[in-house]
Structure 1
Amino acid sequence: MPNNSREEAADDAPSDVPCLEKLDSPTGSPPNTASLSNLMELENCVSNLSLAHEIVVNRDFCFRPKSPPTDSLEGRVTEIVHRAFWDILQEQLNSNPPNYCHAVILLQEVKTMLQSLLLPGHVRLRSQLDEVLDAELIQQEADHGALDLHRLAGYVIDTMGSLCAPVRDPEIRALRDLADPVELLREIFRVLGLMKTDMVNFTVQSLRPHLLQQAVQYERAKFQQILDKEPASLDNTTAWLQAAVLGELSAVRLLSESPGPDSRGPVSPAAVLHRAYMSLLHWDPQDQTYPETVLMDRARLDLLGQRLRVLVLEASVLLLTSTQCGGAVFSLQGFVGKLKQSVTALLEGSHTREADLKGALLGLGEQVVVQVKEALATQGGPSLPQDSQDLLKGQISDLWKHDNPICTLIGDRVQGFLQAMLEAGPTKRSPELPASLRLLSAELAELGTAFGRIVHFNRSVFGPFYAPVLRKLLFPPGEPETGEDSR
């Protein structure tokens, strides 16, 4: 099977900064009442776009057999229906004489499933399948009570063994040990289902290099189809970019030496897009106005945002501990690594609810003090004073507050690092980290790389859709379009 390594988008993808002289801004007029067929066509278009995007950007993407939870209504109904089906087959085979009605049908379904696993080059095997599992011959044997299910099952298992991936070899061997024909047929169907999933995933992996070459053009064309059917499909994106423009204008005014009330400053499209993408890492999960052009990556960006918040807390804890305990403890071999493990373990999963975060930080403060005292004891030096212990625990427990100065400082520095990574582009080296973040350099570099890949691919695909929106926001009619290509 092919490697799962991620490749870059096609070489003919547009520049990372969209050209502001292309395309007209799509209208955001309210959608007309669509017919059922149009709605179904639109849903199919969105589904195809989402699937192709997931295959391209998610190196671990694979299909899995559908299996409803056993404690759900669907799971219970499925179990009851399946049990009833196999119980009927058991009764038929145990009757005197045996009734092979269901068994004949199942054997033909097995044949169909095996045929779906064959490649064009399996000419001899296809012919053999038609011969051994011939429907008319099997029916004649069943009518005369001469159907040998174990013989046919043995042939099926041998064929499955020649077609399956190595990972299925143990399950194929287990099939050979089954004596009960009903259990054997049931397990054959189960393993065949897994083999079909393996074949689909192998096909996906085989197609990934070709999809990567065409992904930018394909996704752009699909989104254009969606936009043609639903002109309002850029409304949230326009609002997202407008908020970024306002934020960038405010930042420019603050940095300007003589800001005027109507001064716009040299705001570039690249800076606006960087600010817009950075805002996705802090998006309110209750806000449903997520930009349409980034919607397919929302789950990934939400996870990166959660990881970002945890890293800010970890860096804040490390900074506070270093300030209170000095460099002597941090210079001990293995201390920083052990401390980072404790911080990560205790903060894991606590960022989603404020109450959970408060409790986690209280426990973390206690644990940090314990580890510091143990480290000082190994040096044979004086213990950490009680007032310093209390101060450190209090500072750590206060990190949950939104206006905490330490978290604010660390958060700004992390934001600056990620911003610098976006400005450098995917092919440049990571920018230099501030001293307060160097203990988490590997984690931040990993986060920045993952974030940068999403941003770069998104800009490659949707740059032509962003360009007219940015042109209207940055350069209203009558204003000269200057500085639009600056970075």
Structure 2
Amino acid sequence: MPNHREEQADEPTDVPRLEELESPPGSPPQNSSMSHLMELQNCVSNLSLAHEIVVNQDFRFKSSSPPKDSLEGRVAEMVHRAFWDVLREQLESSPPDHRQAVPLLREVKTMLLSLLLPAHVGLRAQLDRVLDLELIQQQVDHGALDLQRLASFIASTMAGLCAPVRDPEIRALRLLTDPVDLFREVLRVLELMKKDMVNFTLLSLRPHLAQQAVPYERAKFQELLRREPGSLDHTTSWLQRAAQEQRAALPPGPPGSDPGGRGALSPSAVLNRAYMGLLHWDPQDQRYPETVLMDRDRLDTLGHRVDLLALQAAVLLLTSAQCGGAVLSLPGFVGKLKQTTAALLEGSQAR
């Protein structure tokens, strides 16, 4: 775990985002309240998050911040700059004014406590003793606050709690002498450490979540059906269509039997045919099954790879038929032909 310094690598830079689920196809009744719609949205959001955690092994929580060139980003930057400018002005006054430092230390203490585990009894007591807010307030009132000593203690505590990937940032933090820059960096690194703790907890719980994934998702879909009976209509149509196709593909019955009679349908065969249909789903068809909507991006990517593989195989067969085995037996010819074909066909299909 991060505080035991077991995390060895930074999180991947390309973390897949959760797919935004479309609203259930069943239109809510006109008298549906806003709270009812919000409950449905929460149900779908929780289901989507739990599914992504279990299915996507690379899933990580990332710090979210608005783009700097957006209105929200510019406003946030202005507010933060104003806060730190006020703090700098107060600390550089004579005598120094530490009133703004008290809520800042309170926030730092809260964030440090959130990183502790139940076994960290001694460290928790040390934090309460050193960052005693009542004592700090008394020191501020009497002009006796040693901010540098508290900053050094905070940096040392962070060094013991952080993951190894944060060591360079902790070392850089300890080199700062300006108190404003120091506490700005402390808050930034603490946010990263909180994210590391969440992701480590997620990694630890994933095997247990995987065991409960099927009953949990079944219960959530049953809840959706109870709230909105038409919320899985597309899934029903998808399976019915696959069953009809599978029945049509069955061989006719023995002589003397019902002319239209065929063998019994296998649920596994119907499900396999249904999923194969998802690999070639028409992008313009909005009736995508609700139960697999969370995996649509993954299935579309897999379908594209299947199509690409089929085209590569067709090119190899045509080359073999036209040029004979002598050409295909040339060293590296098949591999180069596959690479060239893949490069030409990549991006040619809009899914």
Name the CA distance, whole Å, in 2 between partners of 1:173 and 1:339: 51
Query: 1:203 Cα shift?
Result: 0.8
Q: Does 1:65 align with 2:46?
A: no
Per-residue deviation at 1:264? Answer: 5.2
Give the counterpart of 2:142 among 141, 144, 167: 144
**Aligned-pair RMSD on alpha carbons?**
2.8
Partner of 2:240: 242
Contact 2:116–2:124 (8 Å) recurs in 1: yes
Q: Does 1:263 align with 2:260?
A: yes
- Do 1:89 and 1:182's aligned partners in 2 also have CA atoms closer than 8 Å? yes
Does residue 350 of structure 1 match 2:330? no
Shift of 1:30: 6.7
Aligned match of 2:270: 272
Question: What is the distance in 1 between the residues matched to 2:130 and 2:75?
Answer: 35
| 1: CA distance, partners of 2:350 / 2:27 | 36
Worse-matched range after superposition: 117-126 or 290-299: 290-299
Counterpart for residue 16 of structure 2 = none
The question of whether the paired residues in 1 share the 8 Å contact of 2:54 and 2:210 is answered with yes
Which of 96, 99, 108 is residue 98 of structure 1 equivalent to? 96
C-alpha displacement of 1:31:
4.8
Contiguous gaps of at least 5 residues in structure 2: 8-24
Q: Contact between 1:68 and 1:74, CA under 8 Å: does it hold in 2?
A: yes
User: Retained in 1: the 8 A contact 2:26–2:233?
Assistant: no
**Residues in 1 aligned to 2:319 and 2:94: alpha-carbon distance in whole angstroms:** 81
Shift in Å at residue 82 of structure 1? Answer: 2.2
- Give the conservation status (yes or no) of the 8 Å contact 2:26–2:231: no
Q: Could you tell me whether the CA contact under 8 Å between 2:253 and 2:259 is conserved in 1?
A: no
- 1:31–1:232: 8 Å Cα contact kept in structure 2? no
Kindly provide the CA deviation profile for residues 355-384 of structure 1, in whole angstroms up to 9, marking residues without a partner as x: xxxxxxxxxxxxxxxxxxxxxxxxxxxxxx
Counterpart in the other structure of 1:207: 205
- Report 1:433-472 matches (<5 A): none
The amino acid of 1:330's aligned partner reads L
Q: For each residue in 1:173-194, what CA deviation from the matched residue of structure 2 results, as whole angstroms up to 9, or x when unmatched?
A: 1111112211111111111111
Contact 2:158 2:170 (8 Å CA) reproduced: yes
Q: Secondary structure at the match of 1:231?
A: coil
For the pair 1:281 / 2:270, whether they are aligned, the reply is no
Distance 1:103 1:142 in 2: 9
Structure 1 pair 146–281 and aligned structure 2 pair: CA distance change class (3 A): same
- The secondary structure found in structure 1 opposite 2:112 is helix
CA 1:344–1:30: 2 relative to 1, 3 Å: closer
Distance 1:100 1:338, change over 3 A: farther
Number of positions where the alignment pairs a residue of Structure 1 with one of Structure 2: 328
Counterpart CA distance in 2 for 1:29 and 1:306 is 30
Which residue of the partner structure matches residue 404 of structure 1?
none
**Inter-partner Cα distance in structure 1 for 2:316 and 2:94:** 77
Q: Distance in 2 between matches of 1:45 and 1:305?
A: 29
- Deviation of 1:66 (Å): 0.8
Q: 1:301 aligns with which of 290, 299, 302?
A: 299
Counterparts of 1:152 and 1:231, CA distance in 2: 59
Find the aligned partners of 1:152 and 1:349 in 2 and give their Cα distance: 56
CA contact (8 A) 1:310 1:351 kept: no
**Partner deviation per Cα, 1:266-302 (whole Å, 9 max, x = no partner):** 2433322221111111112232211111122112112
Aligned to 2:107: 109
Per-residue CA deviation, residues 96-140 of structure 1 (Å, 9 max, x unaligned), is 332222221111100000000000010110011011111112222
1:163 corresponds to which residue? 161
TM (normalized to structure 2)? Answer: 0.84
Match runs of 1:396-407 below 5 Å:
none
Alignment of 1:77-92 (within 5 A): 77-92=75-90
How far the C-alpha of 1:204 sits from its partner, in A, is 0.9
- Work out the CA distance in 2 between the residues paired with 1:161 and 1:139: 26
Shift of 1:341: 3.0
Q: Determine if contact 1:111/1:133 at 8 Å carries over to the other structure.
A: yes
Alpha-carbon spacing, 1:279–1:148, altered in 2? closer, same or farther (3 Å): same
Partner of 1:124: 122
TM-score (norm 1): 0.62
Higher relative contact order (CA 8 A, sep 6+): 1
Q: Is the 8 A contact 1:249 1:264 kept in 2?
A: no
Identity of aligned residues (%): 68
Aligned counterparts of 2:312 and 2:68: Cα–Cα separation in 1: 39
For residue 227 of structure 2, what is the aligned residue in structure 1? 229
